[in-house]
Amino acid sequence: MAVHNADIASMFNRTADLLELQGANPFRIRAYRRAARTIADLPQSAARLVKSGADLSELPGIGDDLAGKIAGIVKTGRCPILGQLEKEFPAGLTELLNVGGLGPKRVMALHQSLGIDNIDDLRRAIRAGKIRTLKGFSEKIEQKILHALETRGTQEKRFKWIVADETARPLAAWLSAIEGVKKVVVAGSYRRMKDTVGDLDILVTCAKGSPVIDRFVKHEEVAEIVSRGATRATVLLRSGLQVDLRAVPDISYGAALYYFTGSKAHNVAVRALAVKRGLKINEYGVFKGDKRLAGRTEEEVFRQVGLPYIEPELRENRGEIEAARAGTLPRLVTVEDMRGDLHAHTKASDGRNSLSEMAAAARALGYEYLAITDHSRHLTIANGLDEKRLRKQCEDIDRLNDKLKGITLLKSCEVDILESGKLDLPDSILKELDLAVCSVHYKFDLPAARQTERIIRAMDNPYFNILAHPTGRLIGEREPYALEMERIVRAAKERGCLMEINAQPDRLDLNDIHCRMAKDAGVKLAISTDAHATGHLRYMTLGVAQARRGWLEAKDVVNTLALKALRQALKRK
């Protein structure tokens, strides 16, 4: 049975949870967390890398020991250290770590003092008013835990796009190989490139008598068959991801693709246009009475309601229909427009590769430039650079640039924004850089007004160029910190600062709404990968997709410029 990156990441995260409960060395716990994120965000399958003989220890945060554990999981489907740890604790205890207001220390306090081993025990203790009596707890904390329990499970389970993609691509390829199958396409929020995906909608066209439905429900990863018919089936995979497969005739392919791509709000608005023309649109086609007018392609569907083709990323009913009618749809930015990457790390801080290796990887992608942005000194966990080490790196970059052909490394740094709003390094070194990428890495819990003022004070520094991962979110792990985004965008515009779309799969920050806000305000953006290894440079595809969802064109993105024009654009007014 195939082992996915998400499976390995889940095992490592659970191992880290149990190590926390055990009170293990924080560095060991952090190593498993970091490895989990590295594997979850890999742009290729870890299982395939293992089978090809690749050295996984070259990945960020993966040493020889963890590389061996990954290989073992791929071969056996099991993680021995996780199995050992699970024997030490009641099965339901780690689930308590997912309850808001509870961390490892509090979970162990509840376990040791009140014998709480699972969610049901926790609910009973809260009803009895026992938790507020424990040292380190209070009535306020008890109520916070109760609220977290009451809202638990009310939100739809969603998967990061890259996790869904790890299932979608091989599954589509597998379906394509079934006899009689002609076309396979994954629709829904996956096709619209949303940062998270609720389920997968797959459409196929096939010859009569194709066994595609029968084969689909017998796929090795299917855990449950929810429904099954002659032309459609719904299954739940072992991962918990739901997949809907529909077999449609060629004559309805475009209409079905349009219908199941969504979004629902977009489809409703377009159907309203159709009704005004006396038409009906559904997954089978466009009809006037009983007569089918269109359905083979999406372009036909749009044409029947008087619209040009609208790219899937725009289909959210956020003005795209009005823009289409007015002929003002944006010409969305593409990966091919990108001339370089402005956020990348090396092994000088917490990256995995050298300057020359990162340069070679960027040149192989056809880039003209790559900014080296190792962390500044405040982020000690990432081996951040002080002024002396950064100046030495700048000298190394200058020497390497003298030898490089076809690409230029830019001298930069990911500079921490301190709580005071000052930057982590003095102006004496910042002024020697080609650009400064500035970000918040701690004190995420400040009130919105203080967090906003902190960032704006940092922007006042004349050497501040790009605000990196502006809201600090980690999808599914950490909520964005409180910010007054309108003020941030306005301040960026007034000071000539740029804002980043961070393409890391667990960030995708800015989100699409804020991308559009920045564009409308006239703020330029940088789409950057925050690469910590050469393979991460390929995340540019995800960042561009986020930009497209935010209506960005090439002219809105600073790293679509050639190097000379980029240098000019980076100059603060």
For residue range 80-99, what is the model confidence (pLDDT) as tens digits? 999 999 888 887 887 887 78
The percentage of the chain sitting over the pLDDT mark of 70, rounded to a whole number, equals 99
The answer on 190 and 168 residing in a single domain is yes
pLDDT digits (tens, 9 = 90+) for 450-505: 999 999 999 999 999 999 999 999 998 889 999 999 999 999 999 999 999 999 99
How far is it, in rounded angstroms, from Cα 503 to Cα 374? 17
Q: What is the CATH number of the domain that holds 72?
A: 1.10.150.110
pLDDT tens string 386-418:
999 999 999 999 999 999 999 999 999 999 999
Give strand ranges (E) for 213-303. Answer: 222-228, 232-237, 242-247, 280-282, 285-288, 291-294
pLDDT digits (tens, 9 = 90+) for 22-79: 888 888 998 998 899 888 877 788 888 998 888 888 887 888 899 999 999 999 989 9
Residues 380, 498 share a domain: yes
Instruction: Give me the pLDDT at residue 153, please.
Output: 60
pLDDT at 185: 98
Q: Which tens digits make up the pLDDT trace of 354-364?
A: 999 999 999 99
9 in Cβ contact with 75 (< 8 Å): no
Of how many residues is the chain composed?
573
Q: Are residues 554 and 412 in the same domain?
A: yes
**175 with 286, same domain?**
no
Q: Are residues 555 and 415 in the same domain?
A: yes
Q: What is the pLDDT of residue 4?
A: 87
Q: Which residues contact 143 (CB under 8 A, 6 or more apart)?
A: none
The reply to whether 391 and 527 lie within a common domain is: yes
| pLDDT(573) > 80 | no
- Cα angle 361-364-367, degrees, rounded to a multiple of 5: 90
Helix (H, G, I), strand (E, B) or coil at 181: strand
Please, what is the average pLDDT of the chain? 93
Residues 367 and 442 in one domain: yes
CATH number where 215 lies: 3.30.460.10
Residues 381 and 445 in one domain: yes
Structural domain for 13, as ranges: 5-86
Residues 6+ apart with CB under 8 A from 346: 353, 354, 355, 358, 372, 374
Separation CA 465–CA 410 (nearest Å): 13
CATH of the domain at 123: 1.10.150.20
Provide the strand spans (E) within 173-265.
181-186, 196-197, 199-206, 222-228, 232-237, 242-247
- Give residue-wise pLDDT tens across range 111-137: 889 999 889 999 899 888 888 888 888
Q: Per residue in 156-169, pLDDT tens?
A: 688 999 999 999 99
pLDDT band at 200 (very low <50, low <70, confident <90, very high): very high
Is there a single domain that holds both residue 417 and residue 564?
Answer: yes
Please determine, for residue 154, whether its predicted confidence score (pLDDT) is greater than 60: no
Confidence at 233, pLDDT banded by 50, 70, 90: very high
Q: Please tell me the total count of domains within the chain.
A: 5
Between residues 190 and 383, the one the model is more confident about: 190
Confidence of residue 441 (pLDDT cuts 50, 70, 90): very high
Which domain-ending residue is among 124, 151, 178?
151
Note whether 541 and 488 are same-domain residues.
Answer: yes
Structural contact between residues 491 and 497, judged by C-beta atoms closer than 8 angstroms: yes
Average pLDDT rounded to a whole number, residues 531-542:
94
Indicate the residue among 151, 170, 194 that finishes a domain.
151
At 27, is the secondary structure helix, strand, or coil?
helix
Q: According to the model, what pLDDT value does residue 1 have?
A: 64
Same domain for 452 and 418: yes
| pLDDT for residue 108 | 86
Q: Are residues 475 and 378 in the same domain?
A: yes
Average pLDDT for residues 303-329, to the nearest whole number?
Answer: 97
pLDDT of residue 570: 95
| 175 pLDDT higher than 60 | yes
Question: How far apart, in whole angstroms, are the C-alpha atoms of residue 524 and residue 301?
Answer: 35
- Among residues 250, 341, 350, 349, the alpha carbon closest in space to that of 300 is found at 250
Q: State which amino acid sits at residue 458.
A: A
Domain end point (choices 151, 174, 200) = 151
- Residue whose token pair is 């890999």: 42
